Structure 1
Amino acid sequence: MKNQSSSKSAKSKAPKVIMNGVTYLTKQVETSIALLDSSEDSVVLDALVYLSLYADIHENNLIYIQEHGLLQKLLNLLHRNANILRVTLKFLGMLLGIEEVMLELNQNTYDEKIIELSKVFISHHDSYVKECCVSMLAKLAASSRIVTLIFNLDLFAPILHIIEKTVDMDLLEHTLELLLRLVGALAAVVLPESFDFNVSVLVGLLNNEKKKIAHLSFQVIQKLTFYCLDMIQRLFRRVKLIEIMLDIVTDGNKQEYHDIAFDIIFNSMKSKETSDYFVETMEFLKFCQWVKTCPDKYVLPCILVLEKLTRIPSRRQLIFDFSVEESIISFLKYKDERVLNKTCEAISNMATHTYCCEEMLKPALLKKLFDILAKRDEEDTGNEVALKTVLDFNRLNLNTLDMIHKTAGHKVLLRYFQKGIGYISEESFLGILDILYKMSLCPQFQEDLVTSSFFEKLLNLFRTASASAAISACEILINFVHTPEMRCVFLLLDGPGIFMEKVRNPKDIKLMKTVLLFIHSSLVHDDVVEAFLRSKLIEVLKGLPAHLKEKMPLATKILLLIYKRHLPLKFFETHRLDITDKIQNMFYLINGQWQAPFPLFKDLEVSSISTAYVIYVVDCSYDLKYEYEYSGSGSISPGKISSERTVSTLSRVSSSLSSYFRRGPFHLNYGQLSPDPFLPTYICHVSKYLIQASTTRDKVKILAKYIEAMLCEPVEGYIKLEKVHHLKLHVEILKHKLGSNMIPIGYLRLGGLCERALIFKTIADKCCIPASLVKGTESFYWNEVLLFDSPPNNGKLKLYVVDLINNIGDLLVVGSRAANQYCNKPAWNG
């Protein structure tokens, strides 16, 4: 603005100057400008001198003659002799100090003149001319457009020659300025094709006494290293540039160069030629010692250097050998978050080195990392670099878990865990889950995790998080299924329903397998099993597609284990109890076509069941305080098992027992399940007869006769329908007397296929007779026993159906016509 106002003033009033007795008139000035076009060198030279003297008097004079076309005329003189050229270049240098002149030269119309000026610099041998040219080009190069314009000219050769040879500090300064402009241009990427220079000269200028030259040298090197050109970096490596920069940053007397020295180091480390070679030098070791006590303002760049080196796997061993990890750990004492983050990254990088991981992993280090995490947690920041460092140690060193617990770090991790994936990344969250999973495996650590909020969070994760997080949550829950606290939360929050929803919609096979593993692990706990059964576990598992069952054989195994633990359910679902399925107390059987889902025993006790159904209950838990002694005579001989006398004896025994217990010391629980004192006594009584038998065949026949005696009143001549009616009437009387549909089987005095087969299986299990219980179509029930073939010396086992209705005690080979007719099957199996 000042120059513009001065220009206006010069136009309004032509200057008239008197200096040393000489008067400079406007007409003479304008004449001199015109004479610059003369072909006579002496005339041009005199005019230039006159104008030069006039311009030196006052700034307005320079502006005045510039406005009268001096610039164009001066540019036309670049091809004249050396004397004219010297004055011309000096004059042009003065004009470049005017803003309007610089803007004017930046127009396309002067491009040829600028190129001509550059060629003068390249080809002219006069040192003064070169100095003036380089000074002007350095100023013009402030424009990126002009830099691009002159870059393709062979300027580097003369520039580098001057730098190497000149002793003129001013020329050197201007040359460095021009070089800085040129290497700062985008076109500098072509340097490998033309740059041929002894960089040791440039590096040597870093110690030049003239500060301006030293600064320019630093800046040029900074620009050259910025491009990471292998050829240039190779040259710098030869002259040990990084070592020099390390010496500079550790020299307290060169603080003014510290920042740019760090920049040069960072630039050099980006090139494969100079990224890490200096690790083996003494300068680097000196630097590593210096960083432990360096001024705070250099802490960040120092850890940046070390962190970059730790990223290089091939250098970690050397860094470990030089104990550089101690220098890295020393940065944890600072509070700057950027410093701490980079320190944690460096520690994580070094932790991948086996020996370094063992050396660095100390309680004090973990304590510091957890202090950082705790502070950030209080400040509600999700910065997780320190967390990642802890997770890396956990992944790489088995001792980490114990140290985490000793330093109470798990409490910090639990707070991060409660905040969830929205607070930290999923990767870090999964890392925390991995630590918690490992803790859940160790009894000494489990106690610190057993809280309701912990289990609630895990269950919520399983329900809402990604498959990976859900799998980890499920795996942790598996390790706590033995704790009442976990099962309480699991059942309270409908964990079985949440888990079964995943099974119903199988989207991830691994997650499905983990869910099945949880269910399998919980099968020892009745409360959890019952909850899963109420959530239709059996129905869902049976309905899984064949290809999923093939991939997840655990589903079939779970079904088998549940059936093994819950025999009433197995018989309801499969219509069969095998020989290995031993009936225990509170086995129950629904006699009839039950259409609803299978009811649990607790449901039967508290709900009203339609009177159309009869539920037979096996209960051997009644405590016999004294043993009934039959006073009658006679015993059962195995050899006479089919005699009338044996049947008569068993009938008298049954009648005597029934009469005795009708007046026995027990009471009914009307409306609920009543105790059964009969069944345990029957078992105790018949076992005495079974002991007398020498073979299992004989035991089967004795037991069949015993049951026939128990469940048949001495009434003859009834046809089948009458017998069925008589049985139904008997059962209805019992239901009325007990006030319940649940009838203990010991109360039965009459029995058809169902009743006899159930009692046979119950007593057979108690007396070690290998028998099964099978239900066929149309409510046909029968028992199969496993016996040696007759004669027994062939050593072959066969299954036989026991006849409990027609020819009591007969054994029918399974699959035979007689057996199929008894079981209401087709005469022959295909």
Structure 2
Amino acid sequence: MGKKGKKEMETSKETFDPLPVETKAPATVVLLLNSQEEDVLVKACEAIYTFAEKGNENKVSLFEVGALEPLCKIISHSNNLVRRNAIMALGSMSTNGEVKNALKKLDVIPSLIEKLSNEEDVVVHEFSTLCLASLSVDYVSMAQIFESNGLPPVIQLLSSSDPDVQKNSLEIIFNLVQDYKSRQAVHEFGGMVPLLELLKSDFPVIQQLVLKVLQNLTMDLETRNTFRQEQGFEKLLEILSNQDFSDLHSDVLLIVANCLCNSETIHSLAEDGGLAKVMDFILLPSVPEIHSNAIKCISRSAQSSKCCKVLHEHGVEKVLVELLSVENVDVNISTCHAVAAMSLHQASKDTFRDLGGVAKLVESMSSESLHLKEAASAALSNLTHDKNNSMTVFEVGGHTLLIKQLSCSCPKTVANSASTLCNMAEQVKIRRGIWSHGVMEALVEPLKSTDSQILLNSLQCLALLACDSEARVEFQSAGGLPPLVDLLRSHHKDVLARACLAVVGIAIDEFPAVEMYKLGALELLEEINLSVNRRNKFSKLATTALLKSNLSVKYSLTGHLASTDIITHGFYDAGKARQGEKVPTLDELLTQPVNQQRPVVVVYMSAEQTKAIKEEEDEEKASTKEEHKKSRKKKKKEKEENEPVNVVEDVHLQKLIKDAKECILPLNDKEQYVTLARLVSDTMGGAVDQEKLHEFPWLLHLSELKSHLQSNVVPIDLIKKAIYGERALLFKCLADQIGLSCTLVRAEYNRAFNEITLFDSPDSPLPRRYIVDLIHQPGTLLALNTPLALQYQSI
């Protein structure tokens, strides 16, 4: 018996009786995943799945004890049951964020896509798609699924009989179609038909996912065409007409909005009555979110001029105007956006006005909702490109609300308001009304903004409003010049161009031009003009305008005054400015101690003379007598405020102007210039022979005047002995006052001369240019570029 027993023990070396293992430790079960026995693997995977399903903490525990890597290997096992249980366990774990992040590093996606084949059972499909749905939220994994050709089998599984497989597949597709390439692929692989079929699903979650996928797909033209060909729009209308599906209406309307961007679709809908159904649905009272999405359909379709025309023909403006009165802010906002879109069509602009829509939009500007103000201002900005709409906004007081919105905290509202005011200001009547409500002061703050659109619109508005002299004065008084000049430093090309344009308008008047010069505007403009990248079509105009209203600076910098540059009260000749040197103001020169340099010659005119000159300019600009009266009062006040210190009226100069008018104006053209030249010569010391010029005591005379006045600034009427520079200046000054045309040109070594243009005879085809001799043979006209003229111009 003993031997027999021993023999039996020897024969049992080849087999091992089954050993049942019971454990409650996850780590032990995970170790079993490395077993070579299929039965053990089946039970281990099943246990892991059951444990993982109990909650996130269990999934993390399994991950921490190393379950993930062996599971990823086992999902490709040859045994169907092992493979199924492994994918169930992996799919369950993948819904945890920490596990999902780890899976991305294990390159498991190709293996998961293999499990989507028709050979696998529905359970494998369910958990493979669940795992892919979890991973596809990440952009990198999304790209890997697409590159691994994962879309075709996922699309095929949309026709699965299992709703969980359908749901998971839809989630994968939804994540992937955020990218343009995937949207194209879904269309190319025939995804539209099964997607539309799933709209009939009994499960709301599946229907909602289908709608979300379609929202993305219908963003592309080709996909929209396929959607239309497969009667997708008709299926959407069926859902809209069924109140049992009201929870889907909001998403359906977003797809409708995409489809209405297609002119072919909207024409087809108009013919089939589908568009009328959409309009009816928009008017039906409903949940605000659904109502808003319905209105967005119009906004989207109105982006196309062809679609906009169809909508207009179906009276969409009437629907929108009615919706502006709905007592719901979200609906009002959506309606304003739709009005803004439709207003790009001229016929719609007129219809909105006729139906009272413009006035209702102005009312919306009074809302407490910042978003509604923004939307309403955008609509008004588009509508006021029409003059009649601008007038309507003005008549209902919209301009006052828009001016207030220039200080709004919402950048888009500020930009839209400035744009609307700019549109309105193109009409003179409205411009005056806008200015009278403090718009120039209100524009100062937007000019300090960093938002480029606010700056562009505000500068454009400023340039238009600067047509009125009162507006320019108010802008300067409100402190608008510093931020305007600061914008000349902008590196935004369009902002810089409009800032230059605004400077052109503001610099029409002398005082703001002088102030801008003090702020460094001229130096900034010179830098801009020298820059290849920054100069623009307005920068040179701005420089010219700034100098034209600041002739003293112009003469110092350029050494030339044109015949159109009229010398008036306060003009001074500070000499030729050195390169990069800033020309001092008259105030600064008057306060400097007496020095050894040449005197600064200043032209002082009487108040009456100055006013007469200004009145002539104002009469050309003022549109009515009342405006002219106001202009004169403001300019007089501004003049008094900016008057240089120590100014005295030049009584002798006034007498000289009076004498010149009496004796010169009755003469013919040539004699006028000859007589004026002799008058200037007699006033400043008479004729001086060229060879005896060095004996003429003009320098001593000027030094005595400086000493007597204790100032470097000498009024021109006190100068009784002078040569080229002072005589040429007096000639130009007198010529400007009596209406004769001449230039003033600075030559080398402080010489100066005057150039005139005359016809030699009434029959002369072309005029000739002459230099006027004011010293050697006063009254002689020297033909330009002749030896005598060149000798007079230079030493």
TM-score (norm. length: structure 1):
0.55
The answer on 1:430 being equivalent to 2:415 is yes
- 2:501 aligned with 1:517: yes
Q: How does 1:212-611 map to 2 (within 5 A)?
A: 216=202, 237=231, 245-246=239-240, 248-249=242-243, 257-259=244-246, 262=249, 292=283, 296=286, 300-301=289-290, 304-305=293-294, 307-308=296-297, 311-312=300-301, 323=315, 334-348=326-340, 351=343, 355=347, 358-361=350-353, 364-366=356-358, 368-369=360-361, 374-377=366-369, 381-382=370-371, 386-387=375-376, 390-391=379-380, 393-394=382-383, 399-420=388-409, 423-424=410-411, 426=412, 429-446=414-431, 449-450=434-435, 454-481=439-466, 486-487=471-472, 490-492=475-477, 494-503=479-488, 505=489, 507-546=491-530, 552=536, 554-560=538-544, 564-577=548-561, 583-584=567-568, 586-590=570-574, 597-601=582-586, 603-604=588-589, 610=595
Is the CA contact 1:440–1:479 (under 8 Å) kept in the aligned structure 2?
yes
Instruction: After superposing the two structures, state which structure 1 stretch, 613-622 or 282-291, moved more.
Output: 282-291
Which amino acid in 2 is paired with 1:259? S
Correspondences of 1:32-181 after superposition (within 5 Å): 145=126, 180=163
2-structure distance, mates of 1:530, 1:325: 52
CA distance in 1, matches of 2:673, 2:265: 91
Deviation at 1:771, TM superposition (A): 5.6
CA contact (8 A) 1:784 1:799 kept: yes
For 2:462, the aligned partner's letter is: L
- Which residue identity is paired with 1:473? S
CA gap 1:280/1:492 in 2 versus in 1, 3 angstroms: same
Q: Which residue of 1 aligns with 2:169?
A: 186
CA distance in 2, matches of 1:688, 1:235: 92
Q: Which amino acid is the alignment partner of residue 751 of structure 1?
A: A
Post-superposition Cα deviations, 1:404-442, rounded to whole Å, max 9, x if no partner, equal 34454445544543124xx35x4x543332112123333
Q: Distance in 2 between matches of 1:293 and 1:814?
A: 85
**Following the alignment from structure 1 to structure 2, what is the Cα–Cα distance between the partners of residues 578 and 267?**
65
Q: Is the 8 A contact 2:680 2:731 kept in 1?
A: yes
Question: Which residue pairs with 2:670 in the alignment?
Answer: 696
Relative to 1, partners in 2 of residues 1:288 and 1:477: Cα closer, same or farther, differing over 3 Å?
Answer: closer
DSSP-derived class of the 2:601 partner: strand
With over 3 angstroms needed to count, the CA separation of the structure-2 counterparts of 1:821 and 1:521, relative to structure 1, is same
Paired with 1:357 and 1:373, the residues of 2 have a C-alpha distance of 19
Determine what percentage of the aligned residue pairs are the same residue: 17
**Aligned match of 1:655:** none
Equivalent of residue 779 in structure 1, options 750, 758, 765: 750
Summarize the Cα distance change of 1:528–1:759 in structure 2 as closer, same or farther, 3 Å threshold.
Answer: closer
Amino acid at match of 2:424: M
Q: CA deviation at 1:446?
A: 4.0
Partners of 1:772 and 1:784 within 8 A in 2? yes
8 Å CA contact 1:142, 1:181 repeated in 2 = no
Aligned residues of 2:513 and 2:550 also touching (Cα < 8 A) = no
Long gaps (5+) in structure 2: 1-49, 55-73, 85-120, 131-158, 174-185, 218-222, 610-644
Q: One-letter code of the match for 1:530?
A: V
1:433 maps to a residue whose letter is A
2:721 matched to 1:750? yes
What is the deviation of 1:357?
Answer: 5.4
Q: Which amino acid aligns with 2:518?
A: R
Contact 1:242-1:278 within 8 A present in 2 as well: no
Quick check: which has more Rg, 1 or 2?
1
**Cα distance change on mapping 1:224 and 1:178 into 2, 3 Å:** same
Quote the offset at 1:518 in angstroms: 2.0
Letter in 2 for 1:394: L
Cross-structure match for 1:210: none
Change (3 A) 1:368 1:523: closer
8 Å Cα contact 1:344-1:385 kept in structure 2: no
Post-superposition offset of 1:587: 4.3
TM-aligned CA deviation for residue 473 of structure 1: 1.2
* Separation (CA, whole Å) in 1 of partners of 2:366 and 2:513: 41
Structure 1 equivalent of residue 17 of structure 2: none
Contact persistence 2:657–2:737 (CA under 8 A): yes
* Deviation readout 1:255-302 (Å, 9 max, x if unpaired): xx34367489569859979987776667985786577565x55x6446
SS in 2 for 1:441: coil
Q: What is the match of residue 150 of structure 2?
A: none
Structure-2 residue corresponding to 1:636: none
- When residues 712 and 411 of structure 1 are mapped into structure 2, their CA distance, relative to the original with a 3 A threshold, is closer
Question: 529-538 or 489-498: which moved more?
Answer: 489-498
Whether the 8 Å CA contact 1:585–1:619 is kept in 2: the answer is yes
- Are residues 496 and 712 of structure 1, via their aligned partners in 2, closer, same or farther at CA, if it must alter by over 3 Å? same
Amino acid in structure 2 at the alignment position of 1:573: L
| Counterpart Cα distance in 1 of 2:739 and 2:604 | 18
Q: 1:219 to 1:762 in 2, by over 3 A?
A: closer
